[in-house]
Amino acid sequence: MFKGKEASRRKFVKAGAIAAAGMAMPGGMFAGGKKSESKDSRLQEIRLGIASYTFRNFSRAEMIGFLKQAHVSDMNLKDTKDHLPADAVEEIKALGDYLSAGIKLHAAGTIYFPKDEDADIRAKFEYAKRAGIGVIVAGDPAPTTLPRIEKFVKEYDIKFALHNHGPEDKMWPSPLDVLKAMKGMDARMGCCIDVGHTVRAGTDVVAAIREVGPRVFNVHMKDLASFTEKESQVEVGQGKMPVKKIFEALTAIGYAGFVDLEYEINEKEPLQGVIESLAFMRGVMAGMA
């Protein structure tokens, strides 16, 4: 179906394999070593991670094993299986496992905020604080709850990234809906742009990234064969998603955060698709740099 793109895909995947090798080396291009003083230094601020929902059918121990095979050490975790339990004691145990495995946590979510109540909201900020996480990826708070959430953002100095969920979400289908609601609020109130849900909402994802700008705190990456069909997800690079233009837009706004792969298909055997998707993204970034 995608024959016209296959040659480019192979090139990017090959480059991704080279980039993956570089990640494992001290000072590698995406390893977090000393940055070169080049015009592409902004690109080097963008890092790849994985949303733990990708491995929703697997235990924490199994997921850690998958991450090592995929050469990924950065996670956006949520309370799925035993990945990052909401219970404080169990959460501490999980954090110990990740520390021992060299896994770093940069975001928690998607976390839901159904109640406009201090106690419920505080519990979720405490959850992120215990984990040393600087970004809460959030789903479904009512617009009227945002001012109360903003109060906790200021108290805890944790960024709040509201995740758009496409046309099925009547409140937050597009990042532009999130941006409109955040107008005038604290600068730590922003957006997690899910690129798949964004295009299904009929929004130009590249233009949305540029418009949301400094309020982009996290990105969930996936690819679709059809921008109107939720169930058309494929490995990144095999669909219609403008992956290179997305990275170019993130570079243009000076984004210094994570692009987290959220691979939602092949849920019983996700690893191969995860590896292929990461390799494609690494290839894109290597080609840009």
Tens digits of residue pLDDT in 204-248:
999 999 999 999 999 999 999 999 999 999 999 999 999 999 999
Q: Which stretches of the chain drop beneath a pLDDT of 50?
A: 1-3, 5, 7, 12, 14-39
Which element (helix H / strand E) includes 105? strand 104-112
In a domain, 160, yes or no: yes
In a domain, 150, yes or no: yes
Which pLDDT value is given to residue 257? 96
Residue 145 in contact with residue 117, Cβ under 8 Å?
A: no
In a domain, 39, yes or no: no
Residue 205 in contact with residue 166, Cβ under 8 Å?
A: no
**Residue 208 sits in a domain of what CATH number?**
3.20.20.150
* Rounded CA Rg of the chain: 18
Which pLDDT value is given to residue 289? 81
Using alpha carbons, list the distances in angstroms from residue 81 to 41, 43, 59. 38, 34, 6
In a domain, 214, yes or no: yes
Tell me which residue range forms the domain holding 83: 50-288
Using alpha carbons, list the distances in angstroms from residue 116 to 52, 140, 181. 27, 12, 16
Count how many residues are written for the chain. Answer: 289
| Nearest partner of 10 among 288, 260, 286, 279, judged by Cα | 279
- How do beta strands 47-51 and 135-139 pair? unpaired
In a domain, 156, yes or no: yes
In a domain, 26, yes or no: no
In a domain, 59, yes or no: yes
Name the percent of the chain in helix, strand, coil, to the closest 5: 45, 15, 35
Residue 113 in contact with residue 120, Cβ under 8 Å?
A: yes
Looking at the whole model, is its pTM more than 0.85?
A: yes
In a domain, 168, yes or no: yes
Structural domains in the chain (count): 1
| Nearest partner of 11 among 288, 289, 287, judged by Cα | 287
Question: Which residues lie closer than 8 Å to 65 by C-beta, 6 or more apart?
Answer: none
